[in-house]
Amino acid sequence: MGKIVLVLSFLNLFLFADELAITERSFTNTCISCHKQQQIPSSLIYKRYLLKYSTNVRMEEAMFNYLKDPKKEYSIMPEPFFLKFPMKEKVEVDDQTLRKSIRTYLDTYNMKKKLILE
Amino acid sequence: MLHSEKRSLFRFLIIYLGSTFILFSVASWLFYISSKHHLLDQQRESLKYEAEHIKSQLRILHQSNAQKLVYPQHKYIKSAIYDLDKVYIFGTFQEDQSLDINKYDNNLYYITKIEPYYLGAAYLLVSRAIVSAPIEKLQKSIFLFMLGAGLFFTILGYFLGKLFVAPMRDAMEQLNHFIQDTTHELNTPISTILTNIEMIETFSEHEEKSRELKRIEIASKTLSRIYDDLTYINLNHKYHRNIVSLNMGILVEERMVYFSAMAEAKSLQVSVDTDPNVILQIDRNDAIRLVDNLISNAIKYNRSKGILHVVLTEKQFSVKDTGIGIRSKDLQTILQRFKRANKSEGGFGIGLDIVNQVVNSYGFVLEVRSKESKGTEVRVKWEK
- Terminal Cα distance for chain B, rounded: 28
Residue A7: how many other CB atoms lie within 10 Å: 10
A12-16, A60-64, B263-267, B324-328: which is most confident: A60-64
Instruction: Say if residue A84's pLDDT is above 90.
Output: no
Residue B101 Cα distances to B106, B108, B110, angstroms: 12, 9, 9
Looking at per-residue pLDDT, the higher value among B1 and B295 belongs to: B295
Which residues, at least 6 apart from B321, have a Cβ–Cβ distance to it below 8 Å? B297, B298, B299, B301, B302, B306, B307, B308, B309, B375, B376, B377
pLDDT for A14 equals 41
> Does a structural domain hold residue A48?
yes
Check whether B361 has a pLDDT greater than 80: yes
Span B294-313, average pLDDT = 91
Mark yes or no for CB contact A111/B69 under 8 Å.
Answer: yes
The rounded distance, in Å, linking the Cα atoms of B298 and B324 is 10
Q: What is the pLDDT of residues B7-49, one digit of tens each?
A: 888 888 899 999 999 999 999 999 999 999 999 999 999 999 9
Q: Given an 8 Å threshold on Cβ–Cβ distance, is B117 in contact with A112?
A: no
Does B177 or A24 have the greater pLDDT score? Answer: B177
Residue B198's pLDDT band, with cuts at 50, 70 and 90, is confident
Does the CB of A113 have a partner CB in chain B at under 8 Å?
Answer: no
Q: Over range B227-255, report the average pLDDT.
A: 80
Q: What is the mean pLDDT of residues B328-341?
A: 64
Partners of A112 on chain B (C-beta within 8 Å) are 89-90, 119-120
Whether the per-residue pLDDT at A4 is higher than 90: the answer is: no
Interface of A with B in 11-40 (CB under 8 A): none
Q: State yes or no: ipTM above 0.85.
A: no
More confident residue, B76 or B337: B76
User: What mean pLDDT is predicted for residues B234-247?
Assistant: 76
Structural domain count of chain A: 1
Q: Look at residues B332, B8, B335 and name the one whose alpha carbon lies nearest to residue B171.
A: B8
For residue B45, the distance in angstroms to the closest alpha carbon of chain A comes to: 26
**Residues A66, A69, A70, A74, Cα dihedral to 10°:** -50
Which residues in chain B touch residue A76, judged by CB atoms under 8 angstroms apart? none
Find chain B residues with C-beta within 8 A of A111's C-beta.
62, 69, 119-120
List the Cα angle B294/B299/B305 in 5-degree steps: 145
Residue A34 lies in a domain: yes
β-bridge partners, B209: none
Query: What is residue A71's three-state secondary structure?
Result: coil
Are B85 and A55 a contacting pair at CB < 8 A? yes
Domain assignment of residue A116, yes or no:
no
Q: Domains of chain B by range and CATH? A: 3-131 (3.30.450), 241-381 (3.30.565.10)
Q: Which amino acid is at B207?
A: E
Distance in angstroms (rounded) separating the CA atoms of residues B320 and A107: 108
Q: Which residue of A has its CA nearest to B67?
A: A114
Hey, of B82, B84, B95, B123, which one would you mutate to test binding to chain A, going by the most A CBs within 10 A of its CB?
Answer: B84
Between B25-34, B203-212, B252-261, B358-367, the lowest mean confidence (pLDDT) is in B203-212
Instruction: Answer whether B37's CB lies under 8 Å from B201's CB.
Output: no
B331-340 mean pLDDT: 62
Question: Residue B379 carries which side chain, given as an amino acid letter?
Answer: R
Q: Which amino acid is at B336?
A: Q
Query: Does the beta-carbon distance from A116 to B92 stay under 8 Å?
Result: no
Closest alpha carbon within chain B to A115: B69
Q: How far apart are CA B234 and CA B239, in angstroms?
A: 9
Mean per-residue pLDDT of chain B: 85
Taking the Cβ of residue A51 and every Cβ of chain B, the question of whether any pair is shorter than 8 Å is answered with yes
Specify the pairing of strand B279-283 against strand B243-247: antiparallel
pLDDT at B342: 57
A12 has pLDDT over 50: no
Chain A nearest CA to B77, separation (Å):
14
pLDDT at B347: 56
Q: Which residue has the higher pLDDT, B187 or A44?
A: A44
- Residue B205 confidence (pLDDT) above 70: no
User: CB neighbours of A3 closer than 8 A, spacing ≥ 6?
Assistant: none
Number of residues assigned to chain B = 384
The reply to whether A118 falls in a domain is no
Give A10's pLDDT tier (boundaries 50, 70, 90): very low
Residue A15: pLDDT band with limits 50, 70, 90: very low
Q: Is B374 helix (H, G, I), strand (E, B) or coil?
A: coil
Predicted confidence at residue A7, as pLDDT, reads 45
Q: Which residue of A has its CA nearest to B59?
A: A51
A114 close to B (CB below 8 A):
yes
B67 three-class SS: coil
Q: How far is CA A82 from CA A64, A72, B294, in A?
A: 19, 8, 122
The mean pLDDT of A77-90, rounded to a whole number, is: 83
Indicate whether A33 belongs to any domain. Answer: yes
The pLDDT of residue B341 is above 60: no
Give the per-residue pLDDT at B33: 95
Domain that holds residue A56: 2-111
- Interface residue A55 vs chain B (CB under 8 A): yes
Sheet with strand B77-82: strands edge to edge: B88-91, B77-82, B123-129, B107-113
Has residue A17 got a pLDDT over 60? no
Contacts of B325 (CB under 8 A, 6+ apart): B370, B371, B372, B373, B374, B375, B376
